[in-house]
Amino acid sequence: MSFFELDGLTKRFGGLVAVDALSMSVDRGEIVGLIGPNGSGKSTVFNCTMGRYTVSDGSIHFDGREITDAKTHEVVEHGLARVSQESNPIDAMSVGANIKLFTLPNSVTSLRGGASEKEIFRYAARLDLENKLHEQPDELPHADVRRLEVAKALATEPELLLLDEPFAGMNQQEIDGLVEKFEELRDEGVTMIVVDHNMGGLMRLVDRVVVIHNGTKIAAGDPEEIAENEQVRRAYLGSSEAM
């Protein structure tokens, strides 16, 4: 069994089938792109994985465990973390405290656990935020808020990182910087699934691409193959989005 595996994953909202019997697998150390036009079901796949949505059918396995019906905090404890499309830092807490929150033990009797200031500095430094630990999230520029989201996810020491549109709202220079960070993470052994509707920024980062359209897998392969794939082009043209 692969490191991460979706088997016939289905999510229905009433009559709407958002994800339709999707199967895919990811091996340890890979970076896999999950792409598709807006509304194709990419974020729903992540929401099902993270226990935010209940799964209608099929199963999700991670690192030899079934996590189909696990709660969010259990999924995170098993070593999965997600960077959401929407940034949601806690504005009442400093950048450093936001990172620290993600290192706290899930125990009501652990009063003084969590990362030390040195460790928090290190987590922040991975995303070049070490000089902003005492700032409030709402004072940060957009790209730093996005970086904070990644730093928080990394502070849970994940083995598999789900990145949901990590480059949204960034300029080319910021995208390049973040891609470099992800490449460093890959070298450290973190497996990643990256969702994006825009294939541009993704193609040089990922080893493999899975394309979904209307909740169904329509293509899979290496980035070059996918760029040439006629069905993928049609899916994107149909939704009038550029690749």
Partner 1 sequence: MSSDTQTGGPLESVADGYNDRFGHLFGELNGPQFALLIGSLAVLLVAPVWTSLLGVGGLLRTLALASIWAILAMAWDIQSGYTGYISFGHAVLSGGAAYTTAMLVAHVNPDLPFLVTAPISVLAALVIGLVIAVPSLRLRGPYFSLVTFVAGLIFYQLTYAFSGYTGGELGQRVGRIEFELAGAQVTTFDPVTRYYVMLVPMLVIAVALLYVARSNVGMILIAIRENEEAVAAAGIDTTKFKIWSFVLSSIPMGVGGVLLAHFYGTVNPLNFLLVDRSIEIIAMAVVGGMSSILGPIGGAFLVIVLREEVLGVFGVTGRWVALWTVVLLVLVFARDGLFRKLWHVLGDWGRIDGGDDE
Enumerate binding residues for partner 1 (CB under 8 A).
50, 52, 71-73, 76-77, 81-82, 84, 88-93, 97, 100-102, 104-106, 108, 110-114, 152-153, 156
By beta-carbon proximity to partner 1, the closer residue of 93 and 220 is: 93
Cβ 164 to partner 1, closest distance in Å? 12
Cβ 101 to partner 1, closest distance in Å? 5
By beta-carbon proximity to partner 1, the closer residue of 91 and 225 is: 91
By beta-carbon proximity to partner 1, the closer residue of 97 and 203 is: 97
By beta-carbon proximity to partner 1, the closer residue of 23 and 106 is: 106
By beta-carbon proximity to partner 1, the closer residue of 41 and 89 is: 89
> How many whole angstroms separate alpha carbon 110 and alpha carbon 104?
9
By beta-carbon proximity to partner 1, the closer residue of 110 and 171 is: 110
Give the sheet arrangement for strand 160-164, strand by strand: 80-83, 160-164, 191-196, 31-35, 208-213, 216-221
Strand partners, 37: none
Among 211, 188, 170, 212, CA closest to 83: 170
> How many whole angstroms separate alpha carbon 219 and alpha carbon 199?
14
Cβ 158 to partner 1, closest distance in Å? 10
Cβ 235 to partner 1, closest distance in Å? 31
> What does the DSSP 8-state code read for residue 180?
H
Q: Side chain identity at 28, as an amino acid letter?
A: R
Instruction: Determine the straight-line distance between the first and last CA of the chain, rounded to whole angstroms.
Output: 33
Cβ 71 to partner 1, closest distance in Å? 7
145 and 91 Cβ atoms separated by less than 8 Å: no
194 and 202 Cβ atoms separated by less than 8 Å: yes
Cβ 82 to partner 1, closest distance in Å? 7
